[in-house]
Structure 1
Amino acid sequence: MNISKGDLVSVEYTIRLDDDRVIETTVGEAPLSYTHGQNEILQGLEAGLEGMRLGAAKVITVKPADAYGEIHPEGFFEVQRDRVPTEAQRIGIKLETTAPDGRVVFPYVAEIRTNVIVLDLNHPLAGRTLRFDVRVVDIQRGERQLVTGGMRGRETEA
């Protein structure tokens, strides 16, 4: 059985960066389950899983454009240092704040300068190539959608 559109797929994975550092894994935990072809996971990962067989394993390399995108310079902004709590003045800390349009946003501390802190609204993995070590642990065929048609109410496949 190979993965195709509409299938409920479960995969075990480990995500590594270019330097081989592991940033996330499901090994020894519950696998990731998703519906193939429904854009529920990263585009590059889904494309790499297409057609894989049950039990198969491989390495899927996902470029930034098919993962969390490139780093956008407009995602960086400066705030006065005294506006950020002292305990949060560490590079990599995720903050919660309200944007000028009223949306709640979650920037990361990217840089600390004398009077300002540079915050980054880009995803922490933006601009990074990701390597997924994946193994397909389950494939369930998507359910056929049935519609009623005709005078006798017979079922036909949609």
Structure 2
Amino acid sequence: MKAIEGSRVIVHYRGTLEDGSEFDSSEAREPLEFVVGSGDLIPGFESAVVGMDAGEETTFTLDPEQAYGAHDADLLIEGPRAAFPLGELVVGQSYTFQLGPGKEAEGRISRLDGDTVLVDFNHPLAGRRLTFRVKVLAVD
């Protein structure tokens, strides 16, 4: 049975960046299970498994628009250090920020510059080309 929109698919995958470094893999844990077309995964990943059957393998590369989108400069927010919780902030570290009542978002410290902090609220893989190696284990 080939995967179509609405199929439940189980895969093992390995995701790498352009330099070949791995950013994610299911190979050392449970396989990934999803419904094609549900929107639970990045669009290019779901599209790539359409037409595949159990036992098939493929490798594909996604442009940012098919993955986590382009890096959006509007999601870089600069603020005074005094507005952040006490304690050490680390460049590259992710923190959960309260944006209002019941509203929070994860952002990474992009720059510490004296009394100012630059936080990047883009997905860590935004703007990146991603390559996936996928093996379909089951299609229902």
TM-score for both structures, normalised by structure 1? 0.81
- Structure 1, unaligned runs of 5 or more: 141-158
Task: Give the 5 Å matches for 1:1-158.
Answer: 1-84=1-84, 85-87=86-88, 89-99=89-99, 103-140=103-140
Number of residue-to-residue matches in the alignment: 139
Deviation at 1:82, TM superposition (A): 3.6
**Structure 2 residue matching 1:86: 3-state secondary structure:** coil
**Structure 2 residue matching 1:136: 3-state secondary structure:** strand
Write the letter of the residue equivalent to 1:47.
Answer: S
Q: Residues 53 and 138 of structure 2 are in contact (CA less than 8 Å); yes or no, is this contact kept in structure 1?
A: no
Deviation at 1:114, TM superposition (A): 1.9
Deviation at 1:102, TM superposition (A): 6.0
Separation of aligned partners in 1, 2:62 and 2:119: 26
Percent identity among equivalent residues?
27
Separation of aligned partners in 1, 2:14 and 2:60: 10
TM-score for both structures, normalised by structure 2? 0.91
- Structure 2, unaligned runs of 5 or more: none
> RMSD of aligned C-alpha atoms?
1.6
Say which structure, 1 or 2, has more relative contact order (CA 8 Å, 6+ apart): 2
Write the letter of the residue equivalent to 1:99.
Answer: L
Deviation at 1:100, TM superposition (A): 5.3
